[in-house]
């Protein structure tokens, strides 16, 4: 069937900010969908609040709304754009839920918008637990025994029927939020209560525990002619119990016979038909009892998902792109397989390699959180690797994680008991503990019994460790070339072999070179080499020959990507990489992308001319760079990951283009940077370097407390802290870092109450153009990645801004920046201090680019290959006429007991952008987009230190004027009353009940303004923050943010916000 011609405009809803459970895979799928629909000539209207996405680049849709994802906002957009159809299945759970809400609110009907891909009924059948189970039963398939509860009484009744242990899953939440396991009555009651709260509709599913069963996923596609194909099967190494997003997964399924697999395939086909997903992709999960083979259906996602992104990357079958085309009426047999060109998309990919995905956790960011894994997802990203064998694939995935692992490093679990404990319970580090178990001589049977991991997987780990042990005491010289190849075929990295053979990575590499052992590259071709492949999507392996995707003689640029998402390094860097690829591709270079993150747009085989799906280690990068012999290698777009490789690559003779690694070092090395600032006569807060704990105390005392301490060379403010006194400093030096001559600790004076400013600029080595000046809204000391900010600044005057511009340009010139540069300043008493310079792409580049309508990363990439700013026509800073506010989004709700207070250590997973004509409106939009529902009535609770009394008065007055009731702690209340305001005084928690937390729990507080200062007041206010978080009550910790919120609330009371697409904002900015 050809495409539908009755549709003209199609609305796409993105997934919003990156959060745990919903990461950049939806930018990948959304971008594919935008491209696919535009290619077919449809007018695409896109809504997404996340500026760090490729999909929100103005050229990917006809109308791009960076606006909050709420029903109200979407209705306004629908009213303005009058789309014919809405494709609800590409924006993750957020997009799907919103589409349902729009349908239920009658908006779709009112404006005549058709849901394409999946209709409301089908979505409900898949999403509603009761309906889903009824459907599954009606087609004769097996399910775990279960019941639904809306109250504690319901829950207890269900428990009677199915017994413990059970799994509790709240309905309609992201990434299994609130999901838990209960084996005892106490656990049951606690977790039921929690689950009912977490569900927006107060509904939980209580389910027979099938923990320990084998877990599988099938990615299914269906077209309007009812053709159904299975794109990929995935088997979880971690059995049922850990969320699939937190599990190590392998494609294809490994431990099913064909008979069993076909039963699962038949079930999947029957399910997608019975649920009634008209067209597109779905993900269906199964559990299999390893003792009996009983197969039960777990769940279905009637949309593209994290797993479908993984499946797309694992097979070369672009699920989201095909899903978009199927939604407008094409059938699978009418679409072509891009990779083979000759054959249709109506087929099931066969793969001749093994794909391993390992989740990336960031528990180091949340020391109070437990790293035990359960039904609620906790990972923030993932790395994928491709190898010809399970072992090669697994070890490549391990070194792709960017956690300093190069293979099965030993784990120092003290006792066997402790080790067994780490194996029994799924946790972030279990894989290495499995290795440790075999190193200590445990058997596969024993480890399998402890972990419930299939022995098939364990044997591979056992064999890797056996091979490691066989190398014990063997010198490198004694390793024959044949054996060395064998080791490389098992996936051992040069670094790991160096450790095992008592030598260095370099020695191993040289030995390999001397023995002629280099990787060859094989193609991901969807067909097991049955047909010729035309798309160079490659992975390395150590087969003795059969090299594919051979280098061309074109001018080539290699772009090293950012690796797995984690806090501090997210989608922003992939955005920059993709932009550099797009720009250089346009300019006629052959672009070669290297990355190992399956969620990204950069690892779409369509993005670059050639894609290497490889770990971003020195070994893997160097091998492919030597083979390709590019004109240049770009390291400054992928964040810290490629940057870390820059010096070593340059030493190995690799042409790094853009700002030189030496310049980067001048900015990052404390002492060299000091010289730069002295030469330019710029100020920075007094500071020093400590190589021991004693030295740290000496430095801190000479500077004066409070001080900001951190290890050198970190991204995302890891282990960064503000220290107020000597004891805290001593504790920090003892626990957080081990200072040494090689790894000094940096100590800066902390400028209290300063305003922080971020500046992004681009330079061609001669000219420098400011991209944007962003004024932070949070107090200084909050990591810039966590701080809300405004572009243009909302309070800094023109003169200070001029000073900031001048200093930025001076720094860029002095550091001979070619490409992007980010500078962080602090402004205190109108004096500008330089905090930090990063001569590379920063995480604010996408935000700035969206705000000013200029793709900074593209411009920077062109500078790096020698096109001047003049030649590119970008010579003037663009100051937008609209106000752009960026707000960070945090994962605290996923980590019970963790404080929500912000500091120098970055904790946010993502960001949103609010755009409007006034600061208050833009700020309010950013808050709403970040999930903070600003109230328009109710009671405000205020607690501020004495120093802030005066500042909080106007805010209280504004809120009271629009009808809010005021409450405050006794001190604050007294002051406000003195100003003539009516205030209810409330106890602090330590003053006893009834206190503020009681009030919050009762739901009597609509808004909290609490600006603690000093350690004690932070500690005291922790329960307020946590309770507010769990009750979804907005909580502002700075006067600036509170003032902005008050302004936003005033505007909200005047009526709904207006919406405007980026394209229109840019026209207005250009006109002004």
Partner 1 sequence: MAGKDAILALADGTVFRGRAFGAVGEASGELVFNTSMTGYQEILTDPSYEGQLVAMTYPEIGNTGVNREDVESRRPFVRGFIVREYRDMPSSWRAEQSLGAYLAEHGIPGIEGIDTRALVRHLRDNGSQEAVLSSVDLDPERLVRKAKDAPSMVGQDLVTKVTAAEPYGWDQGPWKPGGYLMAEEIAAALGRPTLKVVAYDYGIKYNILRNLVGVGCAVRVVPASTPAADVLKLNPDGVFLSNGPGDPDAVVGARENVAALLGKVPVFGICLGHQILGLALGGSTYKLKFGHHGGNQPVQDLTTGKVEITSQNHGFAVDMDSLKDKADVTHLNLNDRTVEGLSVRGQPTFSVQYHPEASPGPHDARYLFRRFVDLMERDKGN
Query: The tokens of 610 are what?
Result: 């050639």
Least CB distance from residue 142 to partner 1, whole Å? 9
Q: Does residue 216 bind partner 1 (CB under 8 A)?
A: no
Give the DSSP H or E segment for 195. helix 185-198
- Quick check: 702 and 721 in contact, CB under 8 A? no
Q: Does residue 544 bind partner 1 (CB under 8 A)?
A: yes
Q: Which of 193, 294, 726, 743 binds partner 1 (CB under 8 A)?
A: 294
Q: Which of 39, 109, 185, 266 binds partner 1 (CB under 8 A)?
A: 266
Q: Does residue 388 bind partner 1 (CB under 8 A)?
A: yes
Least CB distance from residue 231 to partner 1, whole Å? 11
Q: What's 3's DSSP letter?
A: P
Q: Does residue 836 bind partner 1 (CB under 8 A)?
A: no
Q: Which is nearer to partner 1, 519 or 744 (CB)?
A: 519
Q: Does residue 108 bind partner 1 (CB under 8 A)?
A: no
Least CB distance from residue 15 to partner 1, whole Å? 31
Q: Which of 184, 190, 262, 875 binds partner 1 (CB under 8 A)?
A: 262
Taking alpha carbons only, the member of 428, 430, 483 closest to residue 452 is 430
- Quick check: 438 and 466 in contact, CB under 8 A? yes
Q: Which is nearer to partner 1, 541 or 807 (CB)?
A: 541
Taking the CA of residue 844 as centre, how many other CA atoms within 13 Å lie in the half-sphere pointing to its CB?
34
Interacting span for partner 1 (CB under 8 A) from 342-350, 395-403, 848-856, 955-963: 342-350
CA–CA separation, 319 and 220 (whole Å)? 9
Q: Which of 6, 258, 472, 671 binds partner 1 (CB under 8 A)?
A: 258
Q: Does residue 510 bind partner 1 (CB under 8 A)?
A: no
CA–CA separation, 965 and 944 (whole Å)? 17
Q: Which of 41, 106, 293, 866 binds partner 1 (CB under 8 A)?
A: 293
Q: What's 893's DSSP letter?
A: G
Q: What's 654's DSSP letter?
A: -
- The residue to which tokens 């694939």 are assigned: 393
User: What residues between 33 and 62 interact with partner 1 by CB under 8 A?
Assistant: none
Least CB distance from residue 564 to partner 1, whole Å? 25
Taking alpha carbons only, the member of 559, 553, 551 closest to residue 864 is 559
Interacting span for partner 1 (CB under 8 A) from 31-39, 382-390, 929-937, 1047-1055: 382-390
Q: Does residue 268 bind partner 1 (CB under 8 A)?
A: no
Q: Does residue 260 bind partner 1 (CB under 8 A)?
A: yes
CA–CA separation, 886 and 773 (whole Å)? 12
Interacting span for partner 1 (CB under 8 A) from 262-270, 425-433, 899-907, 954-962: 262-270
- Quick check: 521 and 372 in contact, CB under 8 A? no
Phi-psi sector, 106: left (phi>0), alpha (psi -120 to 50), beta: left
Q: Which is nearer to partner 1, 536 or 563 (CB)?
A: 536
Q: Which of 160, 291, 516, 992 binds partner 1 (CB under 8 A)?
A: 291
- Quick check: 320 and 307 in contact, CB under 8 A? no
Q: Which of 522, 710, 907, 925 binds partner 1 (CB under 8 A)?
A: 522
Q: Which of 75, 454, 604, 905 binds partner 1 (CB under 8 A)?
A: 454
Q: Does residue 468 bind partner 1 (CB under 8 A)?
A: no
Measured between its terminal Cα atoms, the distance across the chain in Å is: 48
Q: Which is nearer to partner 1, 202 or 343 (CB)?
A: 343
Least CB distance from residue 456 to partner 1, whole Å? 4
Q: Which is nearer to partner 1, 243 or 265 (CB)?
A: 265
Q: Which is nearer to partner 1, 527 or 682 (CB)?
A: 527
Q: Which of 351, 386, 583, 584 binds partner 1 (CB under 8 A)?
A: 351
Q: Does residue 3 bind partner 1 (CB under 8 A)?
A: no
Taking alpha carbons only, the member of 63, 79, 83, 82 closest to residue 71 is 79
Q: Which of 131, 254, 687, 1017 binds partner 1 (CB under 8 A)?
A: 254
Q: Does residue 443 bind partner 1 (CB under 8 A)?
A: no
Q: Which is nearer to partner 1, 307 or 972 (CB)?
A: 307
CA–CA separation, 490 and 154 (whole Å)? 53
DSSP 473-488: T--GGGS-HHHHHHHH
Least CB distance from residue 273 to partner 1, whole Å? 13
Q: Does residue 611 bind partner 1 (CB under 8 A)?
A: no
Q: Does residue 350 bind partner 1 (CB under 8 A)?
A: yes
Least CB distance from residue 167 to partner 1, whole Å? 23
Q: Does residue 485 bind partner 1 (CB under 8 A)?
A: no
Q: Which of 342, 671, 799, 829 binds partner 1 (CB under 8 A)?
A: 342
Contact letters (x/-) for partner 1, 309-338, by CB under 8 A? ----------------------xxx-----
Q: Which of 225, 503, 504, 1069 binds partner 1 (CB under 8 A)?
A: 225
Q: Which is nearer to partner 1, 170 or 349 (CB)?
A: 349
User: What residues between 880 and 919 interact with partner 1 by CB under 8 A?
Assistant: none
Q: Which of 71, 183, 478, 529 binds partner 1 (CB under 8 A)?
A: 529
CB atoms within 10 A of CB 8: 13
Q: Which is nearer to partner 1, 469 or 1019 (CB)?
A: 469
Query: The tokens of 822 are what?
Result: 């980010």
- Widest CA span of the chain, in angstroms? 87
* 3-state SS assignment for residue 283: strand
Q: Does residue 480 bind partner 1 (CB under 8 A)?
A: no
Rounded to 10 degrees, what is the CA torsion of 497, 503, 507, 509?
A: 10
Q: Which of 109, 161, 530, 984 binds partner 1 (CB under 8 A)?
A: 530
Length of the chain: 1072
Calculate Rg over the CA atoms of the chain. 28
Q: Does residue 229 bind partner 1 (CB under 8 A)?
A: yes
- Quick check: 537 and 352 in contact, CB under 8 A? no
Q: Which is nearer to partner 1, 389 or 987 (CB)?
A: 389
CA–CA separation, 399 and 564 (whole Å)? 11
Query: The tokens of 262 are what?
Result: 């076909």
Q: Which is nearer to partner 1, 445 or 1016 (CB)?
A: 445
Q: Does residue 705 bind partner 1 (CB under 8 A)?
A: no
- Quick check: 584 and 731 in contact, CB under 8 A? no
Q: Which of 516, 545, 588, 741 binds partner 1 (CB under 8 A)?
A: 545
Q: Does residue 348 bind partner 1 (CB under 8 A)?
A: yes
- Quick check: 356 and 397 in contact, CB under 8 A? yes
Query: The tokens of 561 are what?
Result: 């990507």
Give the DSSP H or E segment for 770. strand 768-776
Rounded to 10 degrees, what is the CA torsion of 915, 778, 801, 748?
A: -150
Residue 412 burial (10 A CB sphere; 0-12, 13-18, 19+) = exposed
CA–CA separation, 322 and 485 (whole Å)? 40
Q: How far is CA 631 from CA 538, 661, 860, in A?
A: 20, 17, 17
Q: What is the 3-state secondary structure (H, E, C) of 571-637?
A: HHHHHHHHHHHHHHHHCCCEEEEEECCCCCCCCCCCCCCEEEECCCCHHHHHHHHHHHCCCEEECCC
Q: Does residue 227 bind partner 1 (CB under 8 A)?
A: yes
Q: Does residue 421 bind partner 1 (CB under 8 A)?
A: no
CA–CA separation, 839 and 812 (whole Å)? 8
How many amino acids of this chain bind partner 1 (CB under 8 A)? Answer: 61
Contact letters (x/-) for partner 1, 765-784, by CB under 8 A? --------------------
Contact residues for partner 1, defined by CB under 8 A:
225-227, 229-230, 252-263, 265-266, 290-295, 331-333, 342-344, 346-354, 388-390, 444, 454-456, 459, 463, 522, 527-532, 543-546, 548
């Amino acid at each position: 069937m050809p495409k539908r011609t009755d549709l003209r405009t199609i609305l796409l809803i993105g997934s919003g900010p990156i959060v745990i459970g919903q990461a950049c895979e939806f930018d990948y799928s959304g971008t594919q969908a935008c491209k696919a629909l535009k290619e077919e000539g449809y007018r695409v209207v896109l809504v997404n609040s996340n500026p760090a996405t490729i999909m929100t680049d103005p050229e990917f849709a006809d109308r791009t709304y960076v606006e909050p994802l709420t029903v109200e906002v979407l209705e306004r957009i629908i009213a303005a754009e009058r789309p014919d159809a809405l494709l609800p299945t590409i924006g993750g759970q957020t997009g799907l839920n919103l589409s349902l809400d729009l349908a239920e609110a009658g908006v779709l009907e009112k404006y005549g918008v058709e849901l394409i891909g999946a209709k409301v009924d089908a979505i409900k059948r898949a999403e509603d637990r009761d309906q889903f189970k009824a459907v599954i039963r009606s087609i004769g398939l097996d399910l775990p025994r279960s019941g639904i509860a809306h109250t504690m009484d319901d829950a207890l009744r269900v428990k009677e029927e199915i017994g413990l242990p059970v799994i509790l899953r709240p309905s309609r939440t992201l990434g299994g939020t609130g999901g838990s396991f209960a084996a005892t009555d106490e656990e049951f009651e606690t977790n039921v209560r929690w689950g009912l709260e977490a569900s927006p509709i107060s509904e939980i599913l209580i389910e027979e525990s099938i923990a320990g069963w084998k877990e599988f996923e099938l990615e299914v596609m269906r077209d309007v002619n009812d053709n159904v194909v299975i794109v990929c099967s995935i088997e979880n190494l971690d059995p049922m119990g850990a969320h699939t997003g937190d599990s190590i997964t392998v494609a294809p399924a490994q431990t099913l016979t064909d008979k069993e697999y076909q039963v699962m395939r038949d079930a999947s086909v029957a399910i997608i038909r019975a649920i009634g997903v008209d067209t597109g992709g779905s993900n269906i999960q199964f559990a299999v009892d390893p003792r009996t083979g009983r197969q039960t259906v777990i769940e279905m996602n009637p949309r593209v998902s994290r797993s479908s992104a993984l499946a797309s990357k694992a097979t070369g079958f672009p699920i989201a792109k095909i899903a978009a085309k199927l939604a407008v009426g094409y059938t699978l047999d009418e679409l072509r397989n891009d990779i083979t060109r000759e054959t249709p998309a109506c087929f099931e990919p066969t793969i001749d390699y093994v794909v391993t995905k390992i989740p990336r956790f960031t528990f180091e960011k949340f020391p109070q959180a437990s790293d035990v894994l359960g039904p609620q997802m906790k990972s923030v990203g993932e790395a994928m690797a491709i190898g010809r064998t399970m072992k090669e694939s697994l070890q490549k995935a391990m070194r792709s994680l960017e956690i300093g692992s190069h293979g099965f490093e030993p784990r120092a679990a003290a006792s066997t008991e402790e080790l067994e404990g780490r194996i029994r319970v799924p946790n972030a580090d279990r894989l290495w503990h499995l290795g440790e178990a075999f190193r200590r001589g445990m058997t596969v049977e024993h480890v399998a019994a402890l972990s419930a991991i299939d022995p098939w997987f364990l044997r591979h780990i056992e064999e890797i460790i056996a091979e490691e042990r066989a190398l014990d005491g063997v010198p490198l010289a004694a390793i024959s070339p044949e054996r060395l190849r064998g080791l490389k075929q098992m996936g051992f990295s040069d670094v790991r072999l160096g450790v095992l053979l008592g030598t260095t990575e370099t020695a191993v590499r040289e030995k390999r070179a001397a023995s002629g052992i280099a990787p060859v590259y094989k193609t991901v071709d969807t067909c097991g080499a049955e047909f010729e492949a035309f798309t160079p999507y490659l992975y390395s392996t150590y087969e003795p020959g059969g090299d594919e995707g051979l280098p061309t003689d074109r001018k080539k640029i290699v772009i090293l990507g950012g690796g797995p998402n984690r806090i501090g390094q997210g989608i922003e860097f992939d955005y920059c990489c993709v932009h550099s690829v797009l720009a250089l591709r346009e300019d006629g270079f052959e672009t070669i992308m290297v990355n190992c993150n399956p969620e990204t747009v950069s690892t779409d085989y369509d993005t670059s001319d050639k894609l290497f799906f490889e770990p971003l280690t020195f070994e893997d990068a160097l091998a492919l760079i030597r083979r390709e012999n590019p004109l240049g290698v770009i390291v400054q777009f992928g964040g810290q990951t490629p940057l870390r490789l820059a010096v070593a690559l340059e030493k190995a003779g690799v042409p790094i283009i853009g700002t030189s690694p030496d310049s980067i070092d001048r900015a990052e090395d404390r002492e060299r940077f000091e010289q730069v600032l002295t030469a330019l006569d710029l100020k920075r807060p007094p500071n020093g370097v400590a190589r021991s704990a004693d030295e740290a105390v000496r430095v801190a005392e000479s500077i004066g407390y409070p001080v900001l301490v951190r290890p050198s060379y970190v991204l995302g403010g890891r282990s960064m802290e503000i220290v107020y006194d000597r004891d805290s400093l001593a504790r920090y030096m003892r626990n957080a870092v081990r200072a040494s001559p090689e790894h000094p600790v940096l100590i800066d004076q902390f400028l209290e109450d300063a305003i922080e400013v971020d500046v992004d600029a681009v330079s061609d080595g001669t000219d420098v153009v400011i991209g944007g000046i962003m004024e932070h809204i949070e107090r200084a000391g909050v990591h810039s990645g966590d701080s809300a900010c405004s572009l243009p600044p909302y309070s800094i005057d023109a003169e200070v801004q001029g000073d900031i511009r001048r200093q930025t340009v001076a720094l860029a010139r002095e550091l001979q920046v070619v490409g992007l540069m980010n500078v962080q300043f602090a402004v205190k008493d109108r004096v500008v201090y330089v905090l930090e310079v990063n001569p590379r792409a920063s995480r604010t580049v996408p935000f700035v680019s969206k705000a000013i309508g200029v793709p900074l990363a593209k411009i920077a990439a062109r500078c790096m290959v020698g096109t001047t700013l003049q030649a590119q026509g970008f010579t003037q800073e663009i100051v937008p006429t609209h106000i752009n506010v960026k707000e960070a989004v945090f994962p605290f709700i996923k980590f019970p007991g963790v404080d929500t207070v912000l500091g120098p250590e970055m904790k946010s997973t993502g960001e949103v952008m609010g755009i409007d004509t006034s600061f208050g409106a833009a700020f309010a939009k950013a808050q709403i987009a970040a999930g903070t529902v600003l109230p328009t009535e109710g009671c405000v609770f205020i607690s501020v230190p004495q120093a802030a009394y005066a500042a909080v008065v106007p805010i209280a007055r504004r809120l009271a004027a629009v009808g809010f009731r005021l409450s405050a702690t006794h001190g604050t209340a007294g002051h406000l009353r003195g100003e003539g305001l009516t205030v209810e005084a409330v106890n602090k928690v330590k003053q006893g009940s009834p206190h503020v937390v009681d009030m919050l729990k009762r739901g009597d507080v609509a808004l909290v303004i609490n600006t603690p200062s000093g350690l004690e007041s932070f500690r005291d206010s922790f329960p307020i923050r946590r309770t507010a978080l769990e009750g979804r009550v907005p909580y502002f910790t700075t006067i600036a943010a509170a003032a902005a919120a008050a302004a936003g609330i005033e505007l909200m009371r005047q009526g709904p916000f207006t919406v405007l697409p980026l394209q229109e904002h840019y026209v207005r900015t250009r006109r002004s």
